[in-house]
Every structure is written in structure tokens, then in C-alpha cells.
Amino acid sequence: MRLLICSRNIVQQHERDRLWHFFCHFEGFARAVDEGDPWLNTVAKRPCLKWQRVFEQNADAEAKPGKFLFTWVRLGSEEVRIAVSQEEAVADMPEHQELPRRLAEQNLFSPTLLHAKLQSLLSDEEAVPRLRDLTVGRPGPALCVVGFYQGASSTKVLAEWPSVHALPWRPARALLSVATELRPGSLSPFGVSRPDGWLVELLPQQGNVNSAWLQVAGMKHAADVTVRDLCKAVSAQLPGLGFLAKHVWLASAQDPQRPADNVELGLALLRDLRWTQSERLLLREVRLPGTSAWPRWADSEENELLRPQEAQPLVLLERCSQRPVPTPADRPFQLSAALAEELALSGPLSRSSTYCRSSPSSSGRRRKLEEPGEVAHSRRLLLTSRGARQFEFHPLRPGTMLVGRKDGTAGIINYDSDVMSHSCVVDQFPILGLSWFHTLPQWAVVGGSQSGVIRFLRYDEGLPGKLHSVELEPFQQLSSLSVNCTDDYFMTSGFCIDVGLYDVVTGRRIKTFRNLHQNFINILRFSHRTPQLFATASFDHTCKVWDLRDPSLNAQKPVACCNTDTLNVMCCFSPDDSRLLVSGVDEALRQFDLRERGPGSKFPVPALGSSINYRRSLYAAGGEVVATVATNESLLRLYDAAAPHKSLGVIDFRNMLLKQNHRQAHGTGQAGCFFPWTSSRSSRWSALSLVGGSSCEEPREGLDQAPRVEYLQSLRCHPGEPSILGALAAASEPSPEAYVAAIHLEEKPGASDECFEIGL
């Protein structure tokens, strides 16, 4: 006991705090915000936390699975996981209130619950933080509700202290009063509607004035805020920002030095200009001659905004809605340089036997692939995915996949255990379009093909069974759908030349853009960082990039037009949105640099000479590797995304389904015996490493003589794990079938374990 007391006294209190701080990061209860985040300097610095209490609460919650809910909160340059018991959450919910009960079914609760929990973790209990919405790294309005979940989720809450970072916004409405204040039809399927008014950040491009936040039309519903409201509110702030001009106007999307001539005062920010909350407005003062072309004003009420007769200054508002580069929510253990210095660590963590843990596959670095040939990998045919037509990996939840079948059924599959936990019938036609939401981990949107039925789906992570669904306005002959990075909008394309724009919050279609191409639009994809940018791949031998911020968007005004040699089957943006990958027929695979105007770079894909060999290609997470498959081949090919594009190897799927049929015919077709793996902390899939073919001992006689063809119908890469991807293996007549094969790219032996030493 004397020795223990002596040892305890040797470690000072501030050193204990640093140790607990380090342990919270090591165990995944806290994580550092990327130092390159461009929005990091806009938030207040966090106060000191009781790191021992943070550690104890999270460790206790992990020891009692299913009894706790979690949410992530950003405090300065760190994000901290807050745990609450389900009993605490229910006790905080008011009795006999319909809206709180409905929200609680989706694990949405009043911010007072989080505020009280956060207050108990602060060293300075008198420091009162206020909570803001945080969407894809961008701070937003005051928080109305907060989501607590059992599984992984994105960081949706920013805690800040007004004394450090003053922000003049209207306080959030109390949860109990939301039901009476909401207008008919404004309640989202996910909970409450958008907050009143529109929050913007003003950033002058001249002088040394710091940015300022402004709440536009704070007493007005967000859907009703117009350009007139914006101009009035920002014009009133110009003197305080150091401008001589008295009035403002939106800048042209094509030339930020000129005013937009296709905008009118009566246009709604949401419906017509597709704004997202908390956009940054770059303010630039220009002087326009009296004879220059002037925007068309909506009416004559704005006497001071009439066309000037002589040169006068005008401030132009350039919209900057770009978000930080997305990073996986389940980051590997790492400390930023600033945090390592704060914890007094001796430089970078060094390798030793002091602390050993696995380096997860979400490290973001390029996988160490073998030389061109068969790529080292493990794979599993998911038997519960039989009849699949499309699938998507969950961006946040490990082992979770959304599958749409040919019979119109949608389901949630755990691809580690090959178990379907949730399902529901969406339509009688194949599911062609499906997408997870980025910030709502339990929600997805799916669409049927011929009928165009569209539904929001929600699964209860603690209650396996049926998926809850909300039906929306259909989009006939649907071929694809995509959700933007902030979950404000999703868009649909089909076997037509039109695309549909839907408001996620209300679930309504708010716009149909007509005649964007001269032939069918096979697929549509949003960018990863800018909520209003999307691309369309068409059979008219073009792939076009569009900007929803342009109120007069039409076929003659794409942001970029990429011409190709064949009809286009698929397109996608690179993770940083600087490149566009376009797939066509047979060997047609090109990458276009959107920062330049050029013909793009061609991948050295072997040609089969087939006009029905439809190719699909995607970037692996990180954007350094491109994966591609085609419908006349059974090979998945990997290429270097940097030009010249070198082959990194292939994965051979020949006879994979035939082997499965052989097992079923001989009574050995169990879910766990076909390319099995195990899920563990040291290795997600410690399975067969296939180099040059399968190591399964199976009879090969008669396989190659089968009267049918196997091919790869679709491809998906995990959005956060560079080493995880999946392919839809299908077979033609006489017994057509399809299964999803989950694939894990293996590293070279000895490259997976990393040991770290704490330099205290």
C-alpha cells in the first residue's frame, strides 16, 4: 500500500490528465480533427475535459452492449464520444408528448440531454457551451435535436463558447414547441424540419476583417427565404465589414467578377438556388459602369436597387459551399502533431513492444498490392444476397451492406457473418437505385426500375426485422439515384433524358431538369465535397458536370462536358472531386481532370471487341486505385489512378458460382464454408490469401464445360476502407442467378501489425 501511494504521488495531476487523454484516443473514445480541415480555425478552442471520466463512462458503456447510446461532439480540434444510457434518454423525454416520442423512436432527443452530459465532463463547470449542428465538417445553426446511436455515426454536434467565438443567431426552438410551430407538411421523415431563417458566413476578400456570421430572416421559415431577404440582411452589414458600397448582389457562377444576370429578388434560396445551411459567402467589391448590363430586379419596391445611371460600387456575393475532404468516422489510432505536443509525447510514436495493436484497413494509405497478376485477397460469396441486383457498403457501420434484389426486396446484410438482419418489399421490379445517407446512419433511399417507386428506409440497429419505409413521388424508368454530401438533396436519373431533384427534408420532388442529354442518362452521381455539383453519364457519348446553384440550369450550360468514344455506362468523382472517372463499352475507361480542359487519360484495359461488354469502374477509398469490371468478363481489374495508369493486378471470378452450385448439390453449401473469414481486432478478414487462384480443394472436372457464362454485373468500393470492395457475380441462362462477393485486399505478410510506444 505504501508503494502504491508513493507511485501515485509521483505522477502529478496534470500528467494523469495527459495519460487519460492519451488513453481516450488510443481506445477510440476521442479522435483528432484533421489538421488540414479548412474550417478548423472557425470554431472556438475547447476547455479542459475530465478525461478520466470520459474514459470511464465510455469503457463502462462498451462493457454493457445494447444498453447505451452514443454521439460524437466536436470541441475545438478534437471529437469526443459521449455515452448515455437508454434509461437516461427515456427519463429525459417528456411524458405524453407525441413529437418527442416519435423522435425517440429514431434515437433523436432534446439537446438538453447532451448539454447536461457534456457539462458534467468539463473541468470548469461554469463554462456553458452552446451546441450547433455540424454537417460534413461545416458548423451550422443552433441544435434542435441530437441523434444518439448504438453503432458508429458521423459527428453532428459542435460545442462552442460564445465568449470566444460570438455568433448572433436566434436560439433554437424548444423541442416541445416545435410541433405547434411547424407548418403543414414541413416535418421531415427524419424528425423536425429545417430551422427558421438561413445562416451564412460572410468573408470579405479585402482588408483584414475577420469573417462574420449572419442569420438571414430569422423569423421566417427556411423554405420561404428569398434573394431579397438575403440582399437586405447582408447590405445592412457592409459598413461594419469596411465596405463603401451600400448594396450587394449574387456573383455569376461563370465569372465571380460580374453580377449574375439570371437571378431575381423573388427567387427562393432553397427551391431555386439550392442553398445549404451555413454556406460561406466571399464578399468582393467591384465598380460597375452605368452602361453595363444590370441584373433584372423582380419589382420596383427596391428603389435604391434600381439600375444606376453612373458608375457605383457594388459588393458581389460568391457562394462557397465546398466541404472538407471526407474522412472515415472509424479512424485508426493516430495523434495530430499539435495534440502530440500537448500531451508531451516525444515526437512521433515509435515502434516498440510497449503497446501493440493492429493498424486497421482504414489507414488511407495505398494497399501494398502484388505485381500485376492475381492480387492477394480474401473473398466471400454472400449466400444471403442471392438474387441481388445492386448493393452499397455502409459508409460508417463496419460489416453493414444494403442490398436491392431483382424481386424488389431491399435488405441489410452483415457481410462479416453473412446474415440478413432487416428486409422489406419495396417494389415488384428490380431495385436499381440505392444509397445510404451520409449523416443519418440508420437511413437509406432506394428506387425500383420500371415503376420508379422511391422509398426512404430506416432500420433499427437494436431490433432486427422489418425495415420502416416512407414512400415518395416516383420517377418513371428509374436507373440510378444519388444523395448529396450534406443529405439535403438527392437526384434520380432514368431511361430518359431528364433528371429529378428531391428535397430530402420534405421528401418532395422540387424540380425536374429536362433534356439534359440527347440520349438516355444511365447514371447520375453527386460530388463528394460540393453539395450542388453532380455528373451524368449518357448514351450520347458525353459525360457532363452540372451545378445546381445555377437557377437557369439547362443542356447548354454544363460546368464541364467530357466527350467519349462510346456510350457511357458509369461515372464517379474522385474523393477530392478533382477528377472524373467515366466508363463505357468494352475497353473504354477514361479519367478527366476537372481542373483542366483536355481529352483525359486512357486506361490500358484489354479490348474484347464486344459492343455489349458494359464496363463499370470506381475509385477505391483514398482515390489512388481504380477498380473496374465488365459484363462480358469474370475479372476484376485494378489500376493506378495516377497517369500513366499501370495495371496493379486482377481478381479472377471464373467458375465461382459453379463451385457454389457444386457444394449445394453435394450438401456442403453452408454460408461459412465458401471463402470464409473471421472478424477480429487484429485482422478483419483473416481468410484465404488467393494468389494465382483459389486454394480451396474442389473438383474442377466439368466446370469449364458448363453451358452458361459467368460475369461481373456490378461493382462497389467501400467509401472509407481502401481494402474493401464488392462485386456482383452473375450467371446467364439456363439458370440465372447472382450473388454479392465481398472482397478484402490483403497486405504483404508482416505489414499489418504496428506497435507504438508512449513517450511520456
Average pLDDT of span 258-269: 90
pLDDT of residue 97: 67
Looking at the fold, whether 25 and 122 belong to one and the same domain comes out as: yes
pLDDT higher than threshold 80 for residue 753: no
Q: Considering the domain boundaries, does residue 36 fall inside one? A: yes
Q: How many domains does the chain have?
A: 2
Q: Considering the domain boundaries, does residue 585 fall inside one? A: no
Looking at the fold, whether 151 and 231 belong to one and the same domain comes out as: no
pLDDT higher than threshold 60 for residue 482: yes
Q: Which of 259, 294, 329 is the last residue of a domain?
A: 329
% of the chain with per-residue pLDDT over 90: 52
Looking at the fold, whether 45 and 178 belong to one and the same domain comes out as: yes
Looking at the fold, whether 41 and 113 belong to one and the same domain comes out as: yes
How many CB atoms are located within 10 Å of the residue 216 CB? 20
Give backbone dihedrals phi and psi of 92, rounded to 5 degrees, phi first.
Answer: -75, -15
Residue 285 in grid coordinates: 467589391
Nearest to 76 by CA among 32, 46, 54: 46
pLDDT higher than threshold 50 for residue 694: no
Q: How far apart are CA 405 and CA 389, in angstroms?
A: 5
For residues 36 and 336, the answer to whether their CB atoms sit within 8 Å is no
Give backbone dihedrals phi and psi of 633, rounded to 5 degrees, phi first.
Answer: -130, 160
pLDDT of residue 161: 77
Q: How far apart are CA 336 and CA 36, in angstroms?
A: 10
Q: Which of 161, 185, 209 is the last residue of a domain?
A: 185
Looking at the fold, whether 172 and 296 belong to one and the same domain comes out as: no
pLDDT of residue 593: 95
Candidate ranges 133-137, 344-348, 537-541, 674-678; pick with highest mean pLDDT: 537-541
Range from 38-42, 338-342, 674-678 carrying the lowest mean pLDDT: 674-678
| Element (DSSP H or E) covering residue 232 | helix 227-235
Q: How confident is the model at residue 756 (pLDDT cuts 50, 70, 90)?
A: very low
pLDDT higher than threshold 90 for residue 185: no
Q: List for the chain the helix, strand, coil content (%; round to 5).
A: 15, 35, 50
For residues 740 and 728, the answer to whether their CB atoms sit within 8 Å is yes
Looking at the fold, whether 129 and 212 belong to one and the same domain comes out as: no
Looking at the fold, whether 285 and 322 belong to one and the same domain comes out as: yes
Looking at the fold, whether 181 and 221 belong to one and the same domain comes out as: no
The dihedral built from the CA positions of residue 129, 130, 131 and 137, taken in this order, carries a sign that is: negative
Looking at the fold, whether 94 and 21 belong to one and the same domain comes out as: yes
Q: How far apart are CA 502 and CA 487, in angstroms?
A: 11
Q: How confident is the model at residue 4 (pLDDT cuts 50, 70, 90)?
A: confident
Range from 20-29, 240-249, 269-278, 342-351 carrying the lowest mean pLDDT: 342-351
Q: Considering the domain boundaries, does residue 284 fall inside one? A: yes
Q: Considering the domain boundaries, does residue 132 fall inside one? A: yes
Looking at the fold, whether 181 and 57 belong to one and the same domain comes out as: yes
pLDDT higher than threshold 50 for residue 388: yes
**Residue 307: C-alpha distances to residues 231, 235, 252, 255, 311 (Å):** 15, 17, 17, 20, 10
Q: Considering the domain boundaries, does residue 167 fall inside one? A: yes
Q: How far apart are CA 105 and CA 439, in angstroms?
A: 17
Looking at the fold, whether 54 and 176 belong to one and the same domain comes out as: yes
Prior bond of 189 cis (ω within 30°) = no
Predicted confidence (pLDDT) per residue in 433-450, tens digit: 999 999 999 999 999 998
Task: Tell me which long-range contacts 492-496 makes (C-beta under 8 A, separation of at least 24).
Answer: 492/433, 492/447, 492/452, 492/454, 492/524, 493/521, 493/522, 493/523, 493/524, 493/536, 494/452, 494/520, 494/521, 495/520, 496/520, 496/521
Q: Considering the domain boundaries, does residue 702 fall inside one? A: no
Task: Show the domain range for 156.
Answer: 12-185
% of the chain with per-residue pLDDT over 70: 74
Strand order in the sheet with 465-466: 388-393, 400-405, 409-414, 419-425, 465-466
Looking at the fold, whether 53 and 108 belong to one and the same domain comes out as: yes
pLDDT of residue 167: 54
Bridge-partner residues for 465, per DSSP?
422
Q: Considering the domain boundaries, does residue 593 fall inside one? A: no
Q: Considering the domain boundaries, does residue 90 fall inside one? A: yes
pLDDT higher than threshold 90 for residue 276: yes
Predicted confidence (pLDDT) per residue in 576-591, tens digit: 999 999 999 999 999 9
Q: Which of 329, 349, 364 is the last residue of a domain?
A: 329
Average pLDDT of span 166-176: 48
For residues 607 and 598, the answer to whether their CB atoms sit within 8 Å is no
